[in-house]
Amino acid sequence: MFPGTCLVDGRCGEKLSLFYSQITAHLRTSSCCTQIIMSVASKAVNKIFIAIAFCCFAHTSTQAQGLQLMPMRVVFEGGKNIEELNVINSGKDSAIYNISLLHYRMKADGAFEIITEPDSGQLFADRNIRFFPRTVALAPGEAQVVKVQVIRASQLAPGEYRSHLYFRAVPDKKLLGQPSDEAQESEGISMQLVPVFGITIPIIVRTGELTAQVKLTDLSLRQTNTAKEAYTLHLHFNRSGNRSVYGDLDVFYVSPKGKTTQVGVVKGIAVYTPNATRAFELPLANKSGVDYRAGKLLVTYKAEEKNKTVKLAEAQLLLGQEATGQAR
């Protein structure tokens, strides 16, 4: 949560204070951080302009509002101690991004929330991570390299350490500091919303002998739209061991006659430590020859390790009268 700055004349009274409190209380409950700047028009004390900059995070995508990052995650292990990130401005306007480290808790549904203290069994990596530069300014189409380095890894106790590198767009000061034409003409309190976009990527440091296992359980298929024959697959990832897992999910429909059709795929699904489970749902494709009332679904979770594809888990769901999830 970014601190808010209040530049309001003290004569505005209790009404404005209550309004400010209600807004900030509401925003604190959202998943976005906020920066609030309030100013008073010089000619009339009762004409208030409020610029609220919403700073929203993209966790599962490496592209937002023209900012692209490669690679999408960094893992330091096996003697690796440096990584170069390519930061690209694919937008139409020049942009400035501040870079910092944040800490996240992964919730049971895969959502993230910012924390300042680690949960039980969670280890932060920030004390052993250095990066440069801390600010990048990019013209349209321009790219720059950000170097990330792990330090003192040999001094760490065995385990997996994780923090997230946060690229935050610097908002246009004109948008934050000047009211819109409508705000200038209106009386009373007016509000302008200014989005501030950001991307986070995980930075993971692994030391010692670490292992992880994962199972896919509690598979079920639910019809979400009867008219369009739309179905959604629900399942749970069950992780054990002392490191996180990360991979791609593939879903195949197998007809009663044995014909296989891919009906779903999701890239880059993680279950971070210390989480033992993660609930997940995936809308399935409605393709010709696919009848979700018969046959079965074959679900695989796989990862790229040492330049080869490794199957982490597999499960099947029988459809129709005998619909039950069976992990193996």
- For residue range 94-103, what is the model confidence (pLDDT) as tens digits? 999 999 999 9
Q: In this structure, are 52 and 180 located in the same domain?
A: yes
One-letter-per-residue 3-state SS of 150-169:
ECCHHHCCCEEEEEEEEEEE
Distance CA 299, CA 167 (A): 34
Q: In this structure, are 313 and 240 located in the same domain?
A: yes
Q: Which carries the bigger pLDDT value, residue 266 or residue 46?
A: 266
SS3 102: strand
Of 82, 61, 81, 64, nearest in space to 72 by CA: 61
Q: In this structure, are 113 and 71 located in the same domain?
A: yes
Q: In this structure, are 160 and 182 located in the same domain?
A: no
Q: In this structure, are 51 and 70 located in the same domain?
A: no
Q: In this structure, are 322 and 287 located in the same domain?
A: yes
H-helix or E-strand spanning residue 14: helix 13-28
133: how many CB neighbours lie within 10 A of its CB? 12
Which CATH number covers residue 258? Answer: 2.60.40.10
Which residues 6+ apart lie within 8 Å of 136 measured at CB? 87, 96, 97, 99, 144, 146
Q: In this structure, are 261 and 127 located in the same domain?
A: no
Q: In this structure, are 255 and 193 located in the same domain?
A: no
Q: In this structure, are 83 and 123 located in the same domain?
A: yes
Tokens (6 digits) for 64: 């937002």
**CA 30 centroid distance within chain:** 14
Per-residue pLDDT for 88 more than 70? yes
Q: In this structure, are 186 and 160 located in the same domain?
A: no
226: how many CB neighbours lie within 10 A of its CB? 7
Range of the domain at 41: 5-56+171-198
pTM: 0.76
Q: In this structure, are 193 and 225 located in the same domain?
A: no
What's the number of domains the chain is made of?
A: 3
Q: What is the pLDDT of residues 162-190, one digit of tens each?
A: 999 999 988 766 545 555 555 555 565 66
Of 114, 193, 205, nearest in space to 159 by CA: 205
Q: In this structure, are 93 and 227 located in the same domain?
A: no
pLDDT for the residue numbered 42: 39
